[in-house]
Structure 1
Amino acid sequence: MNRGQKRLTWLLAAALALVLAAGCAGNANNGAAGNGGNDTGNGASDGTATGGSGSNAEEPLEIQMFAGLYNEVPDMDNAFWTEWQARTNTKLNVEWVPSGDLDTKLDLLLASAELPEVLAAPNFRRPTLVNAIKSGAFWDLTPFLGDFSAYPNLRDNVVDNAYKYRTIDGKIYSLPGSRSPIDIGIKIRKDWLDKLNIPVPTTLDEYEAALKQLVEGDPDGNGQDDTLGLIGGGVIVSDGDESFAAGFGALDPAYNDEGGLIYTQLNPKYTEMIEWFRGLYADGVLSQEFSVMKRTQSEELYKTGRAASYARSIWWDKEWEDSNKKNGQPDAEIMNLTMEGPGGTAVALTTGGNGAFLISKKVPEEKVWRLLDYFEQSASQELTDLAYYGIEGVHHTVEDDQKVLNEQGVLEINTTSKQVGVLASLKYGKVVSASGSKAYNEAKIAEVEHFDQVGTVNPFGYLMSDTWNNVWARYESEWKSMVTQAIVGQITIDEYKAFIAKINALPEAKQAYQEFAEGYAAFHEQQ
């Protein structure tokens, strides 16, 4: 059943002639937008919403949303959020959850069943979320989206395979947070390398040696032995775990004797990486507090010139260079490394749309249509441009055909400002700095433009198995503890390997690995 037919069914059930007439008019507008006219709700040149259910002829669409907070809590009445809501004809009521607490709060929310209308989840594969989807907590969007003819932005402006990655039992329950596959870079302070005459590392061995020299060499010149090497958080170094794993070949498919596809963290190549990190820790290169360090702490250490290396999104480089310069390091320069390891290049790519927007089943069907119109508009180039650069003259100026954020722009336009809409995919959207000059951004693109040729996508970024979710729910916490103990030397590597072997030998783990192998083969047959 197509979109117009579903709406008509709803309207006939209501048996209200006035509503029927309004619904028909709305469908006419939407059809015009979807049949080769302007993208639905992309907005007129004066910034007003046009077309579809986003038309200002209707009352603003109120949206209750749960979303990640990556900066300070935003003032929803500031210039950016006022403009976003005006263009989309919405009133957003967002529960902003700090990124470090996001997974925990998400699990609690799903367990409570007190879901918001829209859930913006950072990982569409999180087992608790998948279980909630399968239990009927969210709308199946497949019949709403149909052939996407009414949603050209959601069809054309997202990354390749965006919906293929996220199907569950052949159905689409979430819309992608469409972002660049080139995202994470293993950063190093290039100015510190130059100061101590250390060549730019091109292998993981050279990287380890360079960090040891930096840690011992007082590169900030403060006369104190306080320089940290590699920092991070999470299991090892959070966002950098997969990048380093790629260098050991741990993101490449590895099969057990029965032909099952082994989960990345239990892959023998991943264990090789753990052993390497053990050496970094023993040499004082890996921060001694890695296991308890939160993302906000790592970020503060890096932007104040306390650490040599950190793995995060590339677009942070300019902001963190500027912060270091303000903190007495005027020559601060950050670069992202391309390094060869024993099993490959230490560059991980994302699926390009890992985040997910889901609509609670408690939302009435008619409002689902309006929410989809909102997300269709959010995936337009116009709204994407607004999310990245704000309003000309208010948030940015134009210099050499390059939009550059001003002070107000840096304050209001950030990662958090991109969390409430799908947005159009930009190849270098997680690379270029909105506050950087044209020359700066061109140089940054040149630094990493080869990443999509040498990088690796973790297949477990899109493969799913209910069997594995049940296994990993029992062992993940213990596995994290064992990783820490292995790295800091509280247990031997052989003890760690024995723990991994125990999980891999479980009958249910072997069953899950068979399911992963079948899913991997099926996915690539469709390529």
Structure 2
Amino acid sequence: MSKLYRKCLSVVMAGVLTAGVLAGCGDSSQTAGSTDKSAKPSDASAAAAKEPLKLQFLVPSYADVPNMNDEYWTEWQKRTNTQLNVEWVPSGDYDTKFDLVLASGNLPEIIVSTNITRPTLLQAINQGAFWDLTPFLGDFSKYPNMKNNAGPNVWNFMKLNGKIYGLPRNRPQIDLGIKMRKDWLDKLNLPVPTTIDEYAADMKNIVDSDVDGNGKKDTVGLIGHGFLLADGDETFSGAFGGLDPVYDKDGGLMRNYLTPNYTEMVSWFRKLYADGILAKEFSSMKKTQAEEMYATGRAASYVRNIWRDYSWEQENKKTQPDAKVITLPPLKGPGGVTVSLANPTFGAFYISKKVPEAKVKQILDYFEKTTTPEYTDFNYYGIEGVHHKVVDGQPMLTDLGVKQVTTNANQVFSLAFNNKMKVLNPSAPKAYNDAKLKEVEVYGQVGKLNPFSIINSSTWTSVWPKYEKEWQAMVTKAIVGQITMDEYKSYVDKLNENPDLKKAYKEFAESYKQYFGK
């Protein structure tokens, strides 16, 4: 039987980061697993005879901070023979905390970066903050699990200047989708859209109607969180060819959001905003605010993980019994479809250079031991009879499982790659999950990976922070109508003629060849 499973500060000034890093270098519900969740890893009894390995982590938190002494975490530490000291940082604050920790030089033993091209991370690597793991890993003969259970091409993506510094956080490539309230479409006799124009028309009908029956026309259309729509940016940009490499006249690979394709998407969002479809607070909405809005039936559409469909449908049913949340099929646009394949690694784990060499090997042994389907299955469903029960051949979480086996459970190890883990919901019936898998199977066939989630440029890393906030402000102004699209285009054209950015484009082109070939 196949194994299935789940998921779930501006740049620090270079001088401060350098000083801090060098000072520190002196020394539920998010994936799906297989149906056999009760089997323990074969080496659990042998590990029990050894002293627990103490590990210190800094990781993002996507749920309530867990009690490390509860049933799930007690069993995890028992099976892995570890004693985990984890600092959980709310995901919305994590980038700020990450940058500050790097600047301070007070690094934990193991730190997560959720973006392998984050400028502060690349600076820290180049300044010697983290171990070069290349000589430890070698040909992976000692680490077959990390090699064989990694996502496609992941270890190549882990390289910087030919060396491996990070350990992948394996995640599926089929992950995000555009959510839509199917019951509202049905109420207005609207078909499920197949193009972005049909989608916009359907959304216009929804926001102009009292679809929730509260006597007001106050339903919000499309919501997001962060800039621009955060998870939704790459999804929609795919429809405009925004996931394809675009080169300038000098052969440089243009950063994706400074391409004509992205500008075309900005123009489309401008129309959505003018039509009352795009949330007025799109530029300032927080993730928790957006999630609460969607779970309580105040918004029609939101781009998030596919597995959330069932959970949000159940939440909406509490006040709107006929609620039905679906992930839309790929919507056609002028340059592609609305499917962005996720990077097969959601950032990476990095080991501080302060960690002694002997312990680096122990840490690698921990990741080797746990990068298996068995540990990933346990990570998803916990203990049979405690966190889940088997119903119709599929494990389903108990109330305690929903409480303890959250997205945070997968923040301290790599997971074993499986492309279905962000589709299946462990609280949903088997028939629902089977149908959902079939619905989104096409995503893997038509979706594209944003190459800028992999490639990098040292010049871009050092230069772009000078312009990023200004550019974001110009995007927002263009969408809300404070400047014309011609003014926005002129601004982008000026950026693209910047000598430093043109140099960065050359570096992006070379990096693209390294990771993807021609």
- The whole-number CA distance in structure 1 between the counterparts of 2:286 and 2:106 is 28
TM-score (norm 2): 0.91
Determine which of 209, 221, 241 is the counterpart of 1:217: 209
Instruction: For 1:490-509, list aligned pairs within 5 A.
Output: 490-509=482-501
Determine which of 430, 441, 458 is the counterpart of 1:449: 441
Q: CA deviation at 1:457?
A: 0.6
1:217 alignment partner AA: S
Residue 232 and residue 356 in structure 1: after superposition, are their counterparts in 2 closer, same or farther (change >3 A)?
Answer: same
Q: CA deviation at 1:523?
A: 2.5
2:415 alignment partner AA: L
TM-score (norm 1): 0.89
Instruction: For 1:400-419, list aligned pairs within 5 A.
Output: 400-419=392-411
Q: CA deviation at 1:509?
A: 1.0
Task: Report the more deviating stretch, 332-341 or 254-263.
Answer: 332-341
Residue 46 and residue 239 in structure 1: after superposition, are their counterparts in 2 closer, same or farther (change >3 A)?
Answer: closer
Determine which of 277, 283, 289 is the counterpart of 1:285: 277
1:228 counterpart = 2:206: no
1:511 counterpart = 2:511: no
- The whole-number CA distance in structure 2 between the counterparts of 1:412 and 1:462 is 33
Residue 84 and residue 48 in structure 1: after superposition, are their counterparts in 2 closer, same or farther (change >3 A)?
Answer: farther
1:467 counterpart = 2:459: yes
Give 3-state SS (helix, strand or coil) of 2:395's partner: strand
**Deviation by residue 1:121-167 (Cα, 9 ceiling, x = unmatched):** 21111010111011000001111111111111100001111011121
Give 3-state SS (helix, strand or coil) of 2:307's partner: helix
Give 3-state SS (helix, strand or coil) of 2:86's partner: strand
1:265 counterpart = 2:257: yes
1:316 counterpart = 2:298: no
Q: Which runs of 5+ in 1 are unaligned?
A: 1-42
Task: Report the more deviating stretch, 68-77 or 284-293.
Answer: 68-77
**Deviation by residue 1:205-255 (Cα, 9 ceiling, x = unmatched):** 000010111111122112122211000122121101000001000111111
Instruction: For 1:173-212, list aligned pairs within 5 A.
Output: 173-212=165-204
Q: CA deviation at 1:46?
A: 5.1
Instruction: For 1:149-164, list aligned pairs within 5 A.
Output: 149-164=141-156
Give 3-state SS (helix, strand or coil) of 2:163's partner: coil
1:71 counterpart = 2:77: no
Q: CA deviation at 1:522?
A: 3.0
* Equivalence for 1:355: 347
Determine which of 123, 128, 135 is the counterpart of 2:115: 123
- The whole-number CA distance in structure 2 between the counterparts of 1:451 and 1:240 is 15
Residue 353 and residue 366 in structure 1: after superposition, are their counterparts in 2 closer, same or farther (change >3 A)?
Answer: same
1:333 alignment partner AA: V
Task: Report the more deviating stretch, 499-508 or 181-190.
Answer: 499-508
**Deviation by residue 1:98-138 (Cα, 9 ceiling, x = unmatched):** 11111111111111111111001211110101110110000
Determine which of 421, 425, 432 is the counterpart of 1:433: 425
Give 3-state SS (helix, strand or coil) of 2:55's partner: strand
Q: CA deviation at 1:350?
A: 1.2
Task: Report the more deviating stretch, 446-455 or 218-227.
Answer: 218-227
Residue 218 and residue 337 in structure 1: after superposition, are their counterparts in 2 closer, same or farther (change >3 A)?
Answer: farther
Mapped contact 1:336–1:447 kept (Cα < 8 A):
no
1:415 alignment partner AA: T
Mapped contact 2:192–2:328 kept (Cα < 8 A):
no
1:139 counterpart = 2:131: yes
Q: How many residues align?
A: 482
* Equivalence for 2:84: 92
- The whole-number CA distance in structure 1 between the counterparts of 2:197 and 2:349 is 41
Q: CA deviation at 1:49?
A: 4.2
Residue 460 and residue 46 in structure 1: after superposition, are their counterparts in 2 closer, same or farther (change >3 A)?
Answer: closer
Residue 250 and residue 464 in structure 1: after superposition, are their counterparts in 2 closer, same or farther (change >3 A)?
Answer: same
1:242 counterpart = 2:234: yes
Percent of aligned positions with the same letter in both sequences? 55
* Equivalence for 1:379: 371
> Which of 1 and 2 has higher RCO (CA within 8 Å, sep 6+)?
2
Q: Which has the larger Rg?
A: 1
Residue 519 and residue 356 in structure 1: after superposition, are their counterparts in 2 closer, same or farther (change >3 A)?
Answer: same
Give 3-state SS (helix, strand or coil) of 1:229's partner: strand
- The whole-number CA distance in structure 1 between the counterparts of 2:302 and 2:311 is 14
Q: CA deviation at 1:44?
A: 11
